[in-house]
Amino acid sequence: MSPGHILEKPGQPTQPTKTSPRPIPTDKKMLKAGAGRADITPPVGIAHAGWGAATHQRAEGVDMPFYATALYVTDGDLELAIVDLDIGILTNPDDAAIRAEVEAVAGIKPENLRLSATHTHSGPVNRGSWLDEGMEMVGPYWDSLPARVAEAVNTARWEATPAHVGVGKGTSSINVNRRPALPDGTLFTGRNWDGFVDREVGIVAIDDTTGNPIATLLN
């Protein structure tokens, strides 16, 4: 299964109201949760990861913004955060830099932070690439992510409120097996309409105590 992803409630991203970590809530054993989001849209002109058959190298515009979306939960003793980033890949060095910044800004221990890339093919390349154009913008973009992710997590922490959790499951038929085989058994990337796919969708809904949605996790 692919990593679960967060869908934050509709509306504009909430801006953090404090620059230092909020004291951990003291109502022990009462789950609290909050969501936060920071814009991580890359600049126009950056080297574009895209796909192997692309005929361009630089991103030429922005169709939709990219976000770092964070969910914070605590029971009064333990603090956890889940962050999804609209990027193609997250390397170990960038992962470590983000964890360190989140701990410094929001107080979340690195081992209590789950980071995940949505694996979009519409974002920039990573620090190493086969491209030539737009690479001068790549390093500064990736270097900016730790502060922006920490902003999202800190917002989620400050927004934490008593919460209820519900679970469920459904199905989706959007996916297709991508491993067809040649007559000799060689696999290649394509569409195998008869191949196995997992169509079950797991759902976790987190609402405040009045029923308003805080976040929804899908897997």
pLDDT digits (tens, 9 = 90+) for 72-126: 999 999 999 999 999 999 999 999 999 999 999 999 999 999 999 999 988 888 8
Q: How far is CA 189 from the centre of its chain?
A: 25
SS3 144: helix
192 domain-assigned: no
The C-alpha atoms of residue 137 and residue 124 are separated, in whole angstroms, by 9
The C-alpha atoms of residue 84 and residue 46 are separated, in whole angstroms, by 21
pLDDT tens profile 167-177: 999 999 999 99
Does residue 60 register a pLDDT over 70?
yes
Tell me which residue range forms the domain holding 24: 5-163
196 domain-assigned: no
The letter for the amino acid at 114 is R
208 domain-assigned: no
59, 44 Cβ separation under 8 angstroms: yes
Does residue 14 register a pLDDT over 70?
no
Mean pLDDT of 184-195: 93
Report how many domains make up the chain: 1
Does residue 57 register a pLDDT over 90?
no
Mean pLDDT lowest for which of 13-22, 97-106, 142-151, 154-163? 13-22
163, 207 Cβ separation under 8 angstroms: yes
Mean pLDDT of 135-150: 95
pLDDT (0 to 100) of residue 149: 98
112, 77 Cβ separation under 8 angstroms: no
168 domain-assigned: no
pLDDT (0 to 100) of residue 127: 80
Strand pairing report for 79-85 and 113-117: parallel
Mean pLDDT of 22-27: 53
9 domain-assigned: yes
46, 137 Cβ separation under 8 angstroms: yes
Q: How far is CA 28 from the centre of its chain?
A: 28
The C-alpha atoms of residue 162 and residue 207 are separated, in whole angstroms, by 9
Nearest to 88 by CA among 60, 133, 118: 118
123, 92 Cβ separation under 8 angstroms: no
Whole-model pTM?
0.81
182 domain-assigned: no
**What are the tokens at 72?**
């914070």
SS3 33: strand
Q: In the structure, what pLDDT confidence band is assigned to residue 22 with cuts at 50, 70 and 90?
A: low
14, 159 Cβ separation under 8 angstroms: yes
203 domain-assigned: no
pLDDT (0 to 100) of residue 17: 46
184 domain-assigned: no
